[in-house]
């Protein structure tokens, strides 16, 4: 195997065994303690399950379901084993509705599924699809047969037979089908080949300084191509992977594992920041002022230069930032962020605290990474999703006067097509291989890609002006008092916004301003809170163009989540659902009693803590 290079995704385990054999390749919580698997044990488990599948007589090319809420050792092993056995894994998002799961089962013709959570929703879906589903458990207590009971360790002769089967798999052939979580209609099955995903891995690992001496944490669902590709990338670099016990234990797991790198969605970083601010608010007045000063210094990172700012950062590091680093393990070198837009101020703040945040961009259809902010000096620009990765051609189609247009890409990572949807495939991939992402953006300094929104989300006001809501939303969320928001305004004279305050920050403000705190549902109608948000929106409107400025708003008290269906599995707003759910509030927002934002910036009431 001299000079061995993987041609198929599952061969990454063999690659690690040859070049970076680890005693601690993958660690996970087994319910009682942290269990450890070496590279050799991982590969042995993969081969045993693959041969078990072959002995069970499952047809070559059969689609096999994978359903779990979060990443786990058994998921990664099963994913690779299904491929090695000549079958096709079909990961499903645990947050999918019964109707979505039923469509996936029917469209992919799944008859078997490995599950890691409560199977009740899946069984309802299989019944709706008219399929008798054979289930296997990734964890104790779920499914009819535990995955280890399907294993059959191959002898030397059987190992040769298994290798013949896997060697006959064409690297350009279908490796997996991943169903995208569309905001409308049924999910579309994205068909990706081994070559698609491996090309993305090889182009990305040269940009991320992860190596065999590093520990990495995984907590995102591997049903998403982002985390799945990242896991295989970690295996190729030889990094030791630790799976978090659950989403609720991430901060505790970070302190135990002390990882060097991990991938995240922006919401986790927001939660970490909110907890830090909330805890500091309970301290002495001097501590509160010190933390606020350190936050202001950090938010100016990369915008301010000079000796004074460096001295301020040095002092902030000694007094504040090192405490933050210790809260997440004390060894973090970098955090790779994707799936949703990162607030630039948080990127600057954490980076000033020597926790390098790097945002990237991609889609399931592109395996997934298209662009990425680099770790080396000069390769990162906050407010952008970085520089296109090697091997990717990128162009901005139909540019407007602002040099914005639809982002189109071409390269080895572009999907084979949509499963059973040849016409839909032709709509997004032209004859020259250019894939239309559906996202709009522009290039900054001819290098850094900046996303302005989804093409289909852009709306037109009655003044004839077009507004990209994502850009406005990201601008509003730069304010610490705005946690979530959605901008609306189609066929209206101006944009309005549904806003969910950051109640942790708002409570601190209320205490400082002697405003009696009760509960969120009452605070959103408190006159002083309403006035605060009028002033905030007037301030946040400043950098926006005339047609983008938010003129009306409505404060909501319940946080949005994927569980309550305002977000999809990849944490993108499900705009039609939100518009329908809050139809009454939207009507009030644009009605005669709607809350108006002052046309010019209002002055603060004397406190320097409002913004």
* Between residues 22 and 606, the one the model is more confident about: 22
Q: What is the DSSP letter of 304?
A: B
* Rounded Cα distance, 511 and 283, in Å: 13
Is 280 buried (19+), middle (13-18) or exposed (0-12) by CB count in 10 A?
buried
Q: For the chain, which residues make up each domain, given as ranges? A: 9-247, 265-455, 459-596
pLDDT score of 78: 97
Q: Give me the mean pLDDT over the 101-109 stretch.
A: 95
Q: Which of 107-121, 134-148, 277-291 has the highest mean pLDDT?
A: 107-121
Is 226 buried (19+), middle (13-18) or exposed (0-12) by CB count in 10 A?
buried
Q: Any idea which fold 9-247 has?
A: Rossmann fold (3.40.50)
Say yes or no to pLDDT of 184 above 70. no
* Rounded Cα distance, 112 and 119, in Å: 13
What pTM, to 2 d.p., does this model score? 0.86
Are 122 and 133 in contact, with CB atoms under 8 Å apart?
yes
pLDDT digits (tens, 9 = 90+) for 297-316: 988 887 777 898 889 999 99
Cα separation values, 38 from 13, 24, 176, 238, Å: 11, 5, 26, 11
* Rounded Cα distance, 422 and 582, in Å: 36
β-bridge partners, 135: 113
Are 553 and 499 in contact, with CB atoms under 8 Å apart?
yes
Q: Give me the mean pLDDT over the 463-473 stretch.
A: 87
Neighbours of 35 (CB within 10 A): 13
How many angstroms from the chain centroid is the CA of residue 314?
A: 32
pLDDT digits (tens, 9 = 90+) for 239-274: 999 999 988 888 899 999 999 999 998 878 887 787
Say yes or no to pLDDT of 345 above 90. no
Say yes or no to pLDDT of 561 above 90. no
pLDDT score of 141: 63
Confidence of residue 342 (pLDDT cuts 50, 70, 90): confident
Least confident segment among 334-343, 440-449, 469-478, 545-554: 334-343
pLDDT score of 128: 92
Cα separation values, 430 from 367, 424, 434, 436, Å: 18, 11, 5, 8
CA proximity to 337, closest of 268, 244, 277: 268
Say yes or no to pLDDT of 603 above 50. no
DSSP letter string, 170-188? -TTSEEEEEE---SSSSPP
Q: Give me the mean pLDDT over the 428-439 stretch.
A: 95
Say yes or no to pLDDT of 605 above 50. no
pLDDT score of 604: 39
Q: Give me the mean pLDDT over the 167-176 stretch.
A: 97
The beta strand positions in 251-346, using DSSP E, are 261-264, 334-337
Say yes or no to pLDDT of 602 above 60. no
Q: Chain-wide mean pLDDT for the chain?
A: 90
Q: Give me the mean pLDDT over the 368-387 stretch.
A: 93
Q: Any idea which fold 265-455 has?
A: Rossmann fold (3.40.50)
DSSP letter string, 193-235? EHHHHHHHHHHHHTTS---TT-EEEE-S-TTSHHHHHHHHHHH
HSE of 457, CA atoms in CB hemisphere, 13 A: 24
Fold matches, 265-455 and 459-596: no
pLDDT digits (tens, 9 = 90+) for 118-139: 888 898 999 999 999 999 999 8
Q: Which CATH class is domain 459-596?
A: alpha beta
Helical H segments across 20-150, by residue range: 39-55, 73-84, 98-108, 120-128
* Rounded Cα distance, 205 and 143, in Å: 36
Are 348 and 382 in contact, with CB atoms under 8 Å apart?
yes
């Amino acid at each position: 195997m001299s000079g061995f290079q993987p041609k198929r995704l599952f061969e990454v385990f063999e690659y690690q065994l040859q070049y970076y054999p680890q005693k601690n390749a993958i660690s996970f919580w087994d319910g009682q303690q942290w269990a450890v698997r070496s590279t050799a044990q991982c590969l042995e488990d993969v081969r045993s399950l693959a041969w078990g599948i072959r002995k069970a007589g499952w047809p070559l090319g059969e689609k096999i379901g994978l359903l779990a809420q979060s990443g786990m050792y058994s998921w990664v092993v099963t994913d690779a084993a299904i491929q090695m056995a000549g079958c096709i894994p079909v990961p499903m998002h645990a947050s999918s509705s019964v109707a979505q799961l039923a469509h996936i089962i029917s469209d992919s013709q799944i008859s078997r599924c490995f599950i890691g959570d409560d199977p009740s929703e899946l069984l309802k879906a299989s019944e709706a699809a008219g399929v008798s589903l054979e289930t296997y458990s990734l964890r104790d207590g779920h499914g009819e047969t535990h995955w280890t009971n399907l294993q059959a360790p191959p002898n030397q002769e059987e190992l040769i037979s298994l290798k013949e089967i896997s060697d006959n798999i064409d690297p350009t052939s279908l490796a997996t089908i991943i169903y995208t979580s569309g905001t409308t209609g049924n999910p579309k099955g994205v068909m990706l080949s081994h070559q698609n995903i491996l090309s993305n891995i090889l182009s990305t690992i040269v940009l991320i300084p992860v190596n065999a001496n590093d520990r990495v944490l995984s907590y995102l669902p591997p049903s998403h191509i982002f985390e799945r590709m990242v896991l295989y990338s970690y295996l190729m670099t030889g990094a030791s992977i630790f799976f978090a016990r659950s989403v609720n234990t991430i901060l505790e797991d970070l302190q135990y594992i002390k990882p060097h790198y991990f991938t995240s969605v922006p919401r986790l970083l927001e939660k970490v920041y909110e907890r830090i601010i909330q805890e500091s608010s309970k301290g002495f007045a001097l501590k509160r002022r010190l933390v606020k000063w350190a936050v202001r210094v950090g938010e100016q990172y990369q915008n301010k230069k000079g000796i004074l700012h460096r001295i301020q950062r040095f002092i902030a590091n000694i007094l504040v930032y090192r405490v933050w680093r210790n809260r997440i393990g004390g060894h973090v070198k970098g955090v790779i962020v994707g799936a949703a837009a990162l607030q630039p101020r948080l990127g600057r703040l954490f980076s000033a605290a020597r926790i390098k945040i790097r945002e990237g961009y991609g889609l399931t259809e592109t395996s997934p990474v298209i662009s990425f902010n680099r770790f080396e000096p000069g390769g990162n620009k906050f407010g952008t999703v970085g520089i296109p990765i090697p091997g990717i051609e990128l162009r901005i189609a139909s540019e407007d006067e602002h040099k914005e247009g639809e982002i189109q890409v071409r390269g080895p990572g572009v999907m084979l097509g949509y499963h059973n949807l040849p016409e839909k495939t032709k709509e997004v991939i032209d004859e020259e291989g250019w894939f239309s992402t559906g996202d709009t953006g522009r290039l900054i300094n001819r290098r850094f890609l900046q996303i302005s929104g989804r093409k289909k989300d852009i709306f037109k006001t009655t003044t004839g002006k077009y507004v990209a809501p994502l850009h406005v939303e990201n601008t509003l969320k730069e304010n610490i008092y705005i946690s979530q928001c959605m901008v609306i305004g189609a066929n209206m004279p101006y944009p309005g916004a549904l806003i969910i305050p950051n109640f942790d920050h708002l409570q601190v403000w209320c205490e400082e301003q002697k405003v009696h705190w009760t509960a969120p549902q009452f605070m959103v109608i408190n006159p002083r809170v309403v006035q605060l948000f009028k002033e905030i929106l007037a301030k946040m409107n400043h950098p926006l163009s005339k047609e983008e400025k938010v003129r009306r708003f409505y404060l909501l008290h319940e946080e949005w989540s994927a569980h309550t269906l305002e977000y999809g599995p990849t944490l993108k707003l499900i705009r039609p659902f939100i518009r329908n759910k809050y139809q009454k509030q939207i009507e009030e927002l644009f009605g005669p009693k709607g809350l108006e934002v002052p046309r010019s910036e209002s002055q603060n009431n004397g406190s320097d803590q409002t913004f």
